[in-house]
């Protein structure tokens, strides 16, 4: 240990009754879980609202298109801005929470490689489906399938089936969107991702107070 003792420390539990101990244990555990959470419930809930607002706004502009031409020029910067902001906030909060933490909580290089590859595979898959004439190839929900499955695999390997639920729900949203049509898939993506994020936020909050 590096620092040199500079102050004396209390050593006895005298005057520390069981009720005080239980309250301190409960408070410390909740506080530590909250501060060390890589994805805190407030961030997940904020992302849920933001994704619903961003994708819902695009759905409102494309739902009346006959034929469907896709998001307008004004929608694209909003979408890109949302993705960048979402990514930056998620990474920033995670890094802050993980300061000084080492071990299994952090992603291993192999896991980061799998997740990065899954995102890199998205345009390739969409192009291949489009070339094959698949109707839902360019739907926004199609983007979710491969990263959702990759997330399920990575988290499932870490925490078992419970860990894979979020990823599978994201992939399922992608599959459902394939049946919703080009405009409807924006709504499916927004509602589906919002529901997944809110569910995750509730699960993390429950875990923190368990």
Partner 1 sequence: MTDDELDPLIHVPTRLKIVATLAALPDGDTLSFTRLQDLIGLTPGNLIIHLRKLEEADYITSEKTRNGTVSVTTIALTGHGRKALSTYTQTLRGLLGGLDGDGTADHEHQRT
**Interface positions with partner 1 (CB under 8 A):** 1-13, 16-22, 24-25, 28-29, 31-33, 35-36, 99-105
The residues, ordered by sequence, that sit 6+ positions from 173 with a Cβ below 8 Å of its Cβ are: 141, 144, 148, 188, 189, 192, 193, 196
CB of 170 to partner 1, least distance (A): 23
The tokens for 132 are 């094959």
Q: What single DSSP character describes residue 209? A: T
Q: What single DSSP character describes residue 107? A: P
Q: Which is nearer to partner 1, 27 or 65 (CB)?
A: 27
Q: Which is nearer to partner 1, 63 or 94 (CB)?
A: 94
Q: Which is nearer to partner 1, 101 or 202 (CB)?
A: 101
Rounded to whole angstroms, the Cα distance separating 62 from 53 reads: 14
Q: Which of 149, 163, 89 is nearest to 119 (CA)?
A: 149
Residue for token digits 């089936």?
Answer: 161
**Peptide linkage before 67 cis (omega within 30 of 0):** yes
CB of 132 to partner 1, least distance (A): 43
Is residue 71 classed as helix, strand or coil in its secondary structure?
coil
Q: Which is nearer to partner 1, 16 or 119 (CB)?
A: 16
What size, in residues, is the chain? 210
CB of 92 to partner 1, least distance (A): 17
CB of 86 to partner 1, least distance (A): 26
CB of 111 to partner 1, least distance (A): 15
Q: Which is nearer to partner 1, 21 or 120 (CB)?
A: 21
CB of 163 to partner 1, least distance (A): 12
Q: Which is nearer to partner 1, 20 or 116 (CB)?
A: 20
Rounded to whole angstroms, the Cα distance separating 141 from 123 reads: 13
**Peptide linkage before 176 cis (omega within 30 of 0):** no
């Amino acid at each position: 240990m590096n620092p040199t003792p500079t102050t004396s420390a209390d050593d006895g539990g005298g005057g520390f009754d069981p009720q005080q101990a239980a309250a301190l244990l409960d408070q410390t555990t909740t506080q530590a879980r909250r501060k060390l959470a890589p994805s805190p419930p407030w961030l997940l809930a904020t992302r849920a609202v933001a994704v619903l607002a961003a994708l819902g706004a695009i759905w409102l502009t494309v739902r009346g298109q006959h034929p469907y031409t896709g998001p307008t020029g004004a929608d694209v910067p909003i979408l890109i801005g949302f993705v960048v902001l979402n990514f930056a906030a998620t990474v920033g909060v995670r890094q802050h929470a993980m300061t000084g933490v080492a071990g299994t909580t952090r992603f291993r290089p192999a896991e980061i490689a799998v997740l990065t590859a899954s995102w890199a595979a998205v345009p390739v898959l969409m192009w291949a489906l489009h070339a094959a004439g698949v109707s839902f190839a360019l739907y926004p929900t199609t983007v979710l399938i491969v990263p959702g499955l990759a997330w399920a695999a990575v988290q499932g390997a870490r925490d078992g089936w419970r860990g894979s639920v979020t990823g599978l729900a994201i992939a399922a949203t992608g599959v459902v969107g394939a049946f919703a049509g080009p405009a409807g898939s924006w709504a499916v993506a927004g509602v589906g991702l919002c529901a997944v994020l809110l569910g995750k936020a509730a699960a993390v909050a429950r875990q923190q107070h368990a």
